[in-house]
Amino acid sequence: MIFQEIPLIPGGASRVVCFSSGKGGVGKTSVAINLGLALVEKGRKVLLVDGDLGLANVDVMLGLTVRTTIRDVLERGDDPMQAVVFPEPDFGVLPASSGVPEMVNLGPEDHDQLAGVFGSIAKAFEYVLIDTAAGIGPSVLWLNSLADYNTVVLNPDPAALTDAYALIKVLHREYRREIFHLLVNLVRDEREGIQVCEGLAKVVRKFLGISLEYLGSVPRDPEVIRAVREQVPFVRQRPGCRAAGAVRKLADSLEAWACLPGGKGESGQNYA
């Protein structure tokens, strides 16, 4: 665990990006981690929050040693910044706990406290990426309500498509979210990603009356599987692989949206 004094970003407001999927196993956590690291390559300070509050994933995928979790912060009042782990100097991870069912059903008081925790830590980062649990449970929905940018991750699988639509529907109907960004993982190629997005966007427009923004896609890549097994992010392990290139393009898209000052490589590409 590496501690680091984090200076406040002068005058900046963090951009909060939430990654949810509906269906589990679409590769949401892997994408969130690698996208975070791609943003760090652009000179950004990034915090990745493991929003799967009772079944931590992020620390496992990064092979991190965790001593303090979000639960410890909530229950013992531990200093939130002491809970942040830094796999790299500008990339912090706020870990969740594992095997704690009550963390999945937090009430408004806990949510208020957690929002305060996020707010206090977020000041030190330009991006706060929240990787939620799968499904449409209360904490998934609440974390999405905090976000500036709701990203729905899916793959071309019909079940993932249906669950992604269900997630969008619930967030739109019950939380009045109007704008969703789609990220299609495990595609053959970009064309398949666009087709999946267009198909879903058509249904969303017809039944919910809102539009979807296409953030981009990440191709199926055997290098990713190898990197996941080795608990190393693929943008670091295999920086030249197709998936790493795709994630860097996603980072460009996010940067174009966020319009934060500074950073590197601000070309941005519009995938909407």
Partner 1 sequence: MEKGLHLAVQCPVGKQDCPLGAELVRLRQECARLAEMVDTDSLTGLHNYRHFLRALDREMERTRRTGLPTALIMIDLDHFKNVNDTYGHETGNEVLCATGALWKGNIRKIDTLCRYGGEEFGVILPGTRLHRAVRTAERLRRVLGDSPVDLGGRSLFLTASFGVDVFEAGDDDSIQAFVERVDQFLLAAKAEGRNRVCSSTAAAEPEPTELSQEERRALLGDST
Binding residues for partner 1 (CB under 8 A): 107-109, 111, 158, 161-162, 165-166, 169-170, 173-174, 199-200, 202-203, 206-207
Helix 242-258 crosses helix 222-229 at what angle (to 10 degrees)? 90
- Name the residue nearer to partner 1 (CB basis): 123 or 202: 202
Specify whether the CB–CB gap between 7 and 89 falls below 8 A.
no
- Distance (Å, rounded) from C-alpha 246 to C-alpha 73? 35
Nearest distance, CB of residue 84 and partner 1, angstroms:
28
Nearest distance, CB of residue 19 and partner 1, angstroms:
21
Tokens of 22: 């509906």
Nearest distance, CB of residue 72 and partner 1, angstroms:
22
Nearest distance, CB of residue 244 and partner 1, angstroms:
31
Rg (CA), the chain: 17
CA separation (Å) from 96 to 32, 52, 124, 163, 223?
A: 15, 6, 19, 24, 27
What 3-state class would DSSP assign to 44? coil
The Cβ of residue 73 has, within 10 Å, a number of other Cβ atoms equal to 20
- Name the residue nearer to partner 1 (CB basis): 53 or 56: 53
Nearest distance, CB of residue 261 and partner 1, angstroms:
34
Nearest distance, CB of residue 207 and partner 1, angstroms:
5
- Name the residue nearer to partner 1 (CB basis): 98 or 162: 162
- Close Cβ partners of 198 (under 8 Å, ≥ 6 residues apart): none
- Name the residue nearer to partner 1 (CB basis): 170 or 256: 170
Q: How far is CA 27 from the centre of its chain?
A: 11
Q: Is 92 exposed, middle or buried (0-12, 13-18, 19+ CB in 10 A)?
A: buried
Nearest distance, CB of residue 141 and partner 1, angstroms:
11
What 3-state class would DSSP assign to 251? helix
Q: How many helices (H) does the chain have, and how many strands (E)?
A: 11, 8
- Name the residue nearer to partner 1 (CB basis): 102 or 174: 174
- Name the residue nearer to partner 1 (CB basis): 77 or 108: 108
- Name the residue nearer to partner 1 (CB basis): 111 or 220: 111
